Amino acid sequence: MSEPIAVLIACPSGEPADSLARALVEAGLAACVNRLPGVRSTYRWKGEIVTDEEDLLVAKTTREAFAAVERFVLARHPYDVPEIVALPVVAGHEPYLAWLEASVSVDAS
């Protein structure tokens, strides 16, 4: 069985986040992408402290597909340095994890 992961991707709110979420699933790179609107992010950028409203995408995929997910997001994301962070799934409902694995195509790009 593949190793399931959750990939966090911060995006501009609204349509950019919706489009990226849908594209990841359509490409077979994620089984499911949750869009959490209204995330308030505070970070340092070019020497300044910035606070922005963003949407956070949580893409459920596999570790084997991470490199393809990263390439896919980088090619479509409007930020210079987008957040693309993978977290391990240490346990889960076995039927869900089997569905996740069956839904992700490592060959997708």
In-domain check, residue 61? yes
DSSP-derived secondary structure letter, 1: -
The reported pLDDT for the residue numbered 64 is 96
- pLDDT tops 70 at residue 108: no
In-domain check, residue 27? yes
Domain range for residue 18?
4-103
User: What's the CA angle centered on 91, arms 89 and 92, to 5 degrees?
Assistant: 95
Taking the model in full, what pTM does it have? 0.93
Chain-centroid distance, C-alpha 7: 4
What's the whole-number average pLDDT of the chain?
A: 95
Domain count of the fold of the chain:
1
In-domain check, residue 108? no
List, for residues 14-61, the tens digit of each pLDDT value: 999 999 999 999 999 999 999 999 999 999 999 999 999 999 999 999
Question: What CATH number should be reported for the domain holding residue 30?
Answer: 3.30.70.120
List, for residues 48-106, the tens digit of each pLDDT value: 999 999 999 999 999 999 999 999 999 999 999 999 999 999 999 999 999 999 999 97
* Among candidate residues 69, 55, 76, the one with its CA nearest the CA of residue 12: 55
The reported pLDDT for the residue numbered 2 is 86
pLDDT band at 1 (very low <50, low <70, confident <90, very high): low
In-domain check, residue 85? yes
In-domain check, residue 109? no
Residue 108 and residue 33 in contact, taking contact as beta carbons nearer than 8 Å: no
